[in-house]
Structure 1
């Protein structure tokens, strides 16, 4: 093929405006798909980048080779007995195999393989030119993209996030032939709706893409766009005498709703600053996508908005945005004044008219259940000790107020403020700070790894709320499947376990879920309670295990630590940490070896009960005595130091039983004919196993390095 020819590849999908919340994931998915497909097709390249604006998704590959790499492979064929006759001449099987692989029958090799003799073909494939490979990759990328919501258009059954209007496919200046759902790829793209030229623009080569689009009023590189937006917003805020609230989520959203940003200052009536701050910033940021401005930490009556376009007619745009925000703030002022005319506690009865879920009663019913369950959780204490005298009273008050803001005008209009508004209103009514904080905190965490409740009351309330939701929906059989989770139960499960891990209350997660199931269905339940609890247990265990694996922990070590059960996530995590800490230590191998011997025999044991007086052999008496000491020491170690170091020390102590375990199995016939003696010895072995399982299931470890 001579000199390698390399050019840049551009694959642009022109689409109607993508929802901003879908864009970042689409960028990540396209990059991963593009990179994998190119590598799978043996195409060499320098870099893969994805650009995204509201109207386009573009895969850009720098330095893409013109041809695939060649492939040499050895293909296994029929056995020698079938391929050749008694005289050693190739038969139909050998000839047919050689033909199917495109090689001469004389070139077939005879190789012994796994105890048999077979023929092999050495196949060389020359790489194809990209014009016969790239179109298939493009088709695969489009069809592999997944969005939360898709739509159909025209007469096609194909579904995508938004209608595809044009496709560009260029390698250098060469258009690669590709047609998707009737849309033929070419070298024509479209610029900004108002800043760009009317009609399509021609891209003379992939390498000119960014400059050509900039000339048409579009900054295609979202990182460059984000930097420009950030710079403009900060500068505008400074010109107004303050500093902008550069919320990362808001910046990302704004970035994906503009192709050419222009920031400008807007203002609103100073009287609205008397409202609770969140009542101003929520319509400003969440609804209008404006950046608030602060001076010395205090909110100013100014904001920064970002226009998708230039400076032409910017005053009209500013006035329009100010009018929209003024209307929003006037509504917020009205809602606030109306809400403050009635105490929060007076809205508890109104919750009777708000359904939690069909079959699970009203929000008032849920509130009363949460009050009872959170009180039981609090009563068991946590890692900081037992509750104080007033905590149960404050918890009861916080629980009864926790959902009352759902009946306020403010939350009905701005639903994302549930909990926050209740907390603010409780504070304005003079409630204890701990009570008002707990009202907001019982919705935490709002996502995996996000902020957890800072107060014990807030933590108990949050755990009670999440346990009630999980128990209720699982009781109705509404169990998440695949990617479907309409009631956010995965988030509730992870949130419940995250709070439990942080606070480590006396009641474990399994106990909370059982209390929740019993609290919802004191008598008859839609499904047998044991089935509900089993499904909940499997679900919670799967969530915890999946989270630990996603964090990068080894699968087998997670399995080993999960033997402690999901009930105490903190114990699972420290067990896992201990396994990782001392995995290469010699005692770890000794412990794992000893445990496997125990586990193999313990399967036949009914339980861990045994009678010491029935032990007659010296080896079994020795094991029993050493086990008793080890159990006592392990218990003291874990009670005094339930950390990674403590668990590692306890594991090392169990490993000290190996000589006694080995002697026991060498000298004692466990499966003897005397049934009573056999059962007693199995009980001893089971007791050893049970002791080890307090630390981990060492039989799950596949590699001790």
Structure 2
């Protein structure tokens, strides 16, 4: 491009929260080019740079002027736009006004013998520097934040107060105004190492000036610095650092000049359960724990500092003091909790409200115990395991009122497991307490054995049923109680374990327990909502796994309510139609044809003596399919049921090719329709193939 320059725009702020910054970075990559394109400013590549204290956009090859534009709009036919005397009608006047022109400016143009009126509007080239103040201010307003604030005396809102702005087109300052500030050519450096202000001579100099002021301007570059520093510490110590993605992302966006350093804590604290130590470091302080060659937690950890590396000793000492205080608290709470048997905490669950209308966590515990017993009985679980399930269900939430969990909430369940072991509870009970929150997210492992699986199912189903009963079901945009995640957890457990239980019957049992506890609600309506909720989750999972929507609908059309039955049948049907698509396409068409002709009121009692050879062949095939399908469904052999249906293809094809169903003789016609009714009925409990024929 000729006569172009670089555009640099920086919004300087107080520290923006880490995850908000990550989202803002993604938004800017779309907002900036869109804003320039909207006013036809020719430009080159847009690059985005962000740190906790700044959002920067650098645009290459920005032209000095927009392109001149001729806009041509076709209007109504001239015969409509003008009357017989050549005067403009309301149609012409309205068309011209809509294009910002006088009616006299409209042109007439002939198109294939028909004359139309046209509006031609010339938009002259404009100086880009004059457009940019409004364009860039619009970019600021266009950033969406989860939470915003006001500051000073202006009404503008941003994630954090805006403290400075730089806007340069080449070496020309663009006077962008926002929140009482006017953009200039002075930026700020690292808050402590090179605060500034630092003058920027031109747009091309903004990044070099920022980098020279101890600022690493991109998330990718800061991540590389952190990973290289961590790797160096790992080599020096022979240990391995744990860098969870979420915490790493946060640390990347908490510093402008990151420097990994290593600290230590008193080895005495290693007597505290590892999960508390890791929680204290990762969740509370954003430190990364180090593990030895055997995978055992050490008393060393990694700090990512935003301070002056020349003062490493001071920085490490300060962070060691902080982590020591946190670990001292953890050890104190842990030691105090161990003085009381875990079971003694259960009654104290009355101090914790589960949900206002559903009572306390003690009430929830009682319901989970009852529902666990119902599931255990339905699944035919052995007596010894029944006792362990009942005990695990009773103790599962007890650690919520322990000192350690009150202080370190992310270790709920885990601490209960430690306390259960210390109190002499069976190992499987302790493990179930630790695992009953699983799966906590998509892809997370389910509880490892049936004790934890039953308690997890009971806990999640109780939560879902209770909240639906009090009108707290998820909406399209809100799911504050994470009920979708709980439902997916239930489905994952049922899918992976194959526990022989009915989810619908378990939902019924849960609702009965709530009614017995005095909760009033419309049982039929709530029951329907919950079943539909689970079915919807399973439908989404099946579609994500590649099962076609019409396959799912075909199975659901048979009145399926059990998600696991839906899953098994939909997968089998999808596999069958994929393996032999022609057979199932023909079956779908044949079923749809028969279904369209059937007259339910006639019944299926046709006269076999009056059947032709072709009709008798179809009748025999239908009779055989009925028996085979019924037996297969009784024994959960859905694939075999589909094979039995596939055997109907040849006789039904021959029937339709050779037989006039709607015969002029009413008795013949009725007999054939009854045969088709029986044919269609074979599909009733398998799938509605008519759904698959709708393409």
**Compared CA separation, residues 177 and 512, structure 1 to 2 (3 A):** farther
Contact residue 337 and residue 402 of structure 2 kept, 8 A: yes
CA contact (8 A) 1:9 1:64 kept: yes
In structure 1, what is the Cα distance between the partners aligned to 2:63 and 2:646?
56
Match of 1:205 among 188, 202, 205: 202
Determine whether 1:517 maps to 2:511.
yes
CA distance in 2, matches of 1:120, 1:673: 69
Q: Indicate the SS of the match to 2:353.
A: coil
Q: Does 1:310 align with 2:308?
A: yes
**Which residue of 472, 486, 502 corresponds with 1:478?**
472
Distance 1:274 1:120 in 2: 85
Q: In the alignment, is residue 567 of structure 1 matched against residue 562 of structure 2?
A: yes
With the length of structure 2 as denominator, give the TM-score of the two structures.
Answer: 0.83
Contact 1:196–1:216 (Cα < 8 Å) also in 2? yes
User: Closer, same or farther in 2 for the Cα pair 1:556/1:686, shift >3 Å?
Assistant: closer
What does residue 324 of structure 2 align with?
A: 326
1:397 equivalenced with 2:394 (yes/no): no
The CA distance in 2 between the partners of 1:651 and 1:34, in whole Å, is 59
Residue 137 and residue 522 in structure 1: after superposition, are their counterparts in 2 closer, same or farther (change >3 A)? farther
Structure ID, larger Rg = 2
CA-based RMSD of the aligned residues comes to: 4.4
Task: Give, in whole Å, the separation in 1 of the partners of 2:129 and 2:656.
Answer: 67
Match of 2:165 among 164, 167, 178: 167
For 1:229 and 1:466, locate their aligned partners in 2 and report how far apart those are by CA, in whole Å. Answer: 39
CA-to-partner distance for each residue in 1:593-633, whole Å, 9 max, x for gaps?
3455466678x969xx9544578776887666544544555
SS at match of 1:313: helix
Change over 3 Å in CA distance of 1:378–1:642 after alignment to 2: farther
Given the alignment of the two structures, is residue 280 of structure 1 paired with residue 277 of structure 2, yes or no? yes
- Residue in structure 1 matched with residue 437 of structure 2 by the alignment: 443
- For the 8 Å contact 1:420–1:439, the answer to whether it is kept is yes
Q: Secondary structure at the match of 1:322?
A: helix
Q: What runs of 5+ residues in structure 2 fail to find an aligned partner?
A: none
Aligned pairs, number: 685
Counterpart contact for 2:230–2:302, Cα < 8 Å: yes
Residue in structure 1 matched with residue 453 of structure 2 by the alignment? 459
Shift of 1:668: 4.5
Is 1:497–1:509's contact at 8 Å kept on the other side of the alignment? no
Range that drifts further, 58-67 or 339-348: 58-67
Residues 357, 220 of structure 1: alpha-carbon distance in 2 compared, 3 angstrom cutoff: same
- For the structure 1 residues 495 and 46, does the alpha-carbon distance in structure 2 shift closer, same or farther, using more than 3 Å as the test? farther
Separation (CA, whole Å) in 2 of partners of 1:126 and 1:323: 66
1:111–1:120: 8 Å Cα contact kept in structure 2?
A: no
Q: CA deviation at 1:223?
A: 0.7
Verify the 8 A CA contact 2:554 2:688 in the aligned structure 1: no
Describe how 1:532-681 pairs up with structure 2 within 5 A: 532-545=526-539, 567-568=562-563, 571-572=566-567, 575=570, 579=574, 582=578, 585-597=581-593, 610-613=603-606, 625-630=620-625, 633=628, 659=653, 662=656, 667-668=661-662
Map of 1:17 onto structure 2: 15
In 2, Cα distance between equivalents of 1:658 and 1:33: 60
Contact 1:560 / 1:696 at 8 angstroms: preserved in 2? yes
* CA–CA distance in structure 2, aligned partners of residues 545 and 37 of structure 1: 40
Output the CA distance in 2 between the equivalents of 1:596 and 1:125: 59
Alpha carbons of 1:45 and 1:632: their partners in 2 closer, same or farther (altered >3 Å)? farther
Alignment check: 8 A CA contact 2:621 2:647 kept: no
Equivalent position SS for 2:511: helix
Deviates more, 1:258-267 or 1:54-63: 54-63
Q: 372, 395, 400: which is aligned to 1:406?
A: 400
Whole-Å separation in 2 of the counterparts to 1:531 and 1:72: 61
CA drift of 1:652 comes to 5.7
Output one character per residue of 1:330-357: Cα deviation in whole Å (capped at 9) or x when no partner.
1111111111122222322222332211
1:237-252 correspondence runs (5 A) = 237-252=234-249
Distance in 1, Cα, partners of 2:123 & 2:164: 35
Partner SS, residue 359 of structure 2: coil
CA contact (8 A) 1:54 1:257 kept: yes
Structure 1 residues 361 and 197, CA gap change in structure 2 (3 angstroms)? closer
User: 1:259 maps to what in 2?
Assistant: 256
Gaps of at least 5 residues in structure 1 are: none
Distance 1:358 1:262, change over 3 A: same
SS of 1:167's equivalent? strand
CA-to-aligned-CA distance 1:450-485 (integer Å, 9 cap, x gap): 333332332222222111111111111122334333
User: Per-residue deviation at 1:518?
Assistant: 2.0
Say which is worse superposed, 444-453 or 121-130, in terms of deviation.
121-130
Per-residue CA deviations over 1:124-163 (Å, capped at 9, x if unaligned) read 8677665566656545554444433333334455443222
Output the TM-score relative to the length of structure 1: 0.82
Q: How many angstroms apart in 2 are the aligned matches of 1:7 and 1:554?
A: 52
| Counterpart contact for 2:288–2:303, Cα < 8 Å | yes
**Compared CA separation, residues 443 and 90, structure 1 to 2 (3 A):** same
Q: Does the CA-based 8 Å contact 1:654-1:692 persist in structure 2?
A: no
Change beyond 3 A, Cα 1:227–1:595? farther
Structure-2 change in CA distance of 1:77 and 1:656 (3 Å): farther
**Which range is displaced more, 36-45 or 171-180?**
36-45
Partners of 1:111 and 1:519 in 2: how far apart? Answer: 78
